[in-house]
Amino acid sequence: MHSNSGPSPVTDKTILLIIGGGIAAYKCLDLIRRLRERKIRTRVVMTAAAQRFITPLSAGAISGERVLTDLFNLDDEREIGHIRLSREADLIVVAPATADLIAKMAGGHADDLATAVLLATDKPVLIAPAMNPRMWLHPATRRNVAMLQADGIAIIGPNSGEMAERGEAGPGRMAEPLEIAARIEAMLANPTLDPAATAPTPRGSLSGRHVLVTAGPTHEPIDPVRYIANRSSGRQGYAIAAAAAQLGARVTLVSGPVELADPAGVKVVRVQTAAEMLAAVDIALPADAAVFAAAVADWRVADAATEKIKKGKGGTPSLSLIENPDILKTVARRAEIRPALVVGFAAETERVLEHARAKRKSKGCDWIVANDVSPQTGIMGGTRNTVHVITADGVESWPEMAKDAVAEKLVARIAEHLVLGQADV
C-alpha cells in the first residue's frame, strides 16, 4: 500500500515500561498491546509490588520480551545491566506510578531495579500516577510531583472517577491505555518538545461528553430486492465509536447495514437509507463532537419500484436518480445545536488532498479525514488505513496503520480539542 508520509516516526522505537504496584497495573497489559500495534518495542520492568497484581509471565507474553524484576539477579545484570537498560530505551514510562514510587523518584532512591533504572537514565521519563484521591491530594505527594515536574519528568493524569475502594471517588485513576499510548507516540515523534507541550492531563478523558458517529454504507432501494450501495465495511466508524467509549464518552453510533458486532458500551442505531441516517442523527443531537465516517450514497432512485422489476418487460429499465440529503453539510452548517467539533471523511480515488480541502470548505466542517480508496489500496472494506487530517491550519499525514489505531489516535485528538478548545490537531 502506498503512503505519502513515509515510515512512522515511532516505528521500531523502544520504551522501557516500569510497572508499579497498584491495582491499575492490570491496565498495563492493554497498554503493551496498544504499543505493539503501533510497532513500538516494549521492554518491561516490574516492581515486587506489581507482581502482586499481575505476573511477569503475562507481561512477557504480550510484550514478547523477557520481563526484568530483580536488581540483584546476577544473570540479568551480566547480560543487560541496569545502566545499559536505562539508556537503551528511547523513553521510560512508569505506570502505574504509585505514591510510594513517586516519592522514591523525588528522593533519588535506588534500592530496587525500577528506581535504579530511573536514577541512571538520561532519557525522557513519563509517569502515569495512580492512587487513592487523598493520597494524590496529600501535601507530600503534591511536593513530590512538583519536584519531578521541575526535573523535567512528564506526567499524564491522573483522571477523576470511582476508585477500586467502595465509596472512594476523585482524582487518582490512572490514565486509560489509549491516552497513555497517544502520549507516548507524541513524545517519541517529538523528542525535543518540552514535556508539558504534549500533556493531555485529565482533560484527555471524554467522560461526560457525547460523541456521535456515523458508519457503514447506506442502501438505497431500487425495488424490494435490489439497492444502490458501496463497498464500505463500517470498520473505521465502529473503531472510532469504540475508542470514544473507552475514553469515557457517551457514544451514539448511527450505522448503515454492516456485518459487525456492536462496540461495547455504545448505543447503536441501525438504519438503511441516507434519509433514515439523517433522521437518526437529528434525534441523537445535541453532541459535543460528531464524526461522519459513513459512506453515504450520493444518490437514490427517484421512484423506487414497489414490486421486483422483471427482465424482459419493456427492455432495460431506466432509473431516474436524485440527490440524497448531505448529512455532513446539514449538521456542520446548522446554526442551532451544532456540535463543537464536526469531523467529516473524504474517500477519494485521485487528487486526495485537493478534493479533501475543497470538501472541508464546502461542507463547513472543522476537520476532514481523507484517504485514498482506490481499489489497489485495499482500504475500502479492509482492516488498515492511511489518512490525512485536514484542518484550517494545514494537513497532518499519518502513516499506514490498523483502523483501530487510526481511531484511537483520532479520538485522542478529539478529546484534546474539546477540552483545550484547540483549532488544530
Cell numbers found for residue 14: 523502544
Cell numbers found for residue 261: 458486532
Q: How far apart are CA 285 and CA 274, in angstroms?
A: 17
Q: Hey, what amino acid is at 389?
A: V
Q: How far apart are CA 416 and CA 423, in angstroms?
A: 10
Are 116 and 110 spatial neighbours (Cβ–Cβ below 8 Å)? yes
Three-state DSSP class for residue 357: helix
Instruction: Give whole-number Cα distances, 199 to 32, 125, 155, in Å.
Output: 20, 13, 7
- Short-list 263, 255, 252, 262, CA closest to 287: 252
Q: How far apart are CA 154 and CA 188, in angstroms?
A: 13
Q: Is 230 a catalytic residue?
A: yes
Q: Which of 73, 144, 159, 230 is catalytic?
A: 230
Phi and psi dihedrals of 196, rounded to 5? -75, -15
Handedness of CA 299, 304, 310, 316 (dihedral sign): negative
Q: How far apart are CA 153 and CA 151, in angstroms?
A: 6
Name the residue with cell 459512506: 295
* Largest interatomic CA distance in the chain: 89
What beta strand segments (E) does 216-373 contain?
Answer: 220-223, 226-228, 250-255, 266-270, 289-292, 299-301, 321-323, 341-348, 367-372
The catalytic residues are: 230
